[in-house]
């Protein structure tokens, strides 16, 4: 897995997801001020971080929810230590 710059948007995202949480674009904006979550997730995926997405319906909107599969969390947490 590729290195990420400390305190960058990618760092904030991967650390949040590594806690077993999921993130949507709206939640990323509210929590971190990130307006381009899909682009940051794309960067992380190109660096081989194991992020997956699932389309969910919230109200009448369909959005992507990004997460790290439970089976990969321990490995990601070790990498971040």
Global pTM? 0.90
Average pLDDT rounded to a whole number, residues 44-68: 96
Tokens of 8: 């960058």
For residues 73 and 18, is the Cβ–Cβ distance under 8 A? Answer: yes
pLDDT tens sequence across 9-45: 999 999 999 999 999 999 999 999 999 999 999 999 9
Tokens standing for residue 33: 């001020």
39, exposed or middle or buried, with CB in 10 Å at 0-12, 13-18, 19+?
Answer: exposed
Which residue has tokens 């993130």? 23
Using CA atoms, how far residue 49 sits from 17, 26, 46, in Å, is 11, 21, 7
Taking domain 9-80, whether its CATH number is 1.10.10.10 is answered by yes
Each domain of the chain, given as residue ranges in start order, spans 9-80
């Amino acid at each position: 897995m590729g290195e990420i710059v400390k305190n960058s948007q990618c760092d904030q995202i991967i650390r949040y997801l590594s806690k077993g949480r999921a993130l949507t674009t709206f939640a990323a904006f509210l929590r971190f001020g990130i307006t381009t979550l899909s682009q940051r997730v794309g960067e992380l995926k190109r660096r081989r971080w194991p992020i997956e997405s699932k389309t969910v319906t919230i109200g009448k909107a369909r959005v992507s929810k990004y997460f790290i599969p439970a089976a990969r969390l321990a490995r990601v947490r070790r990498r971040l230590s």
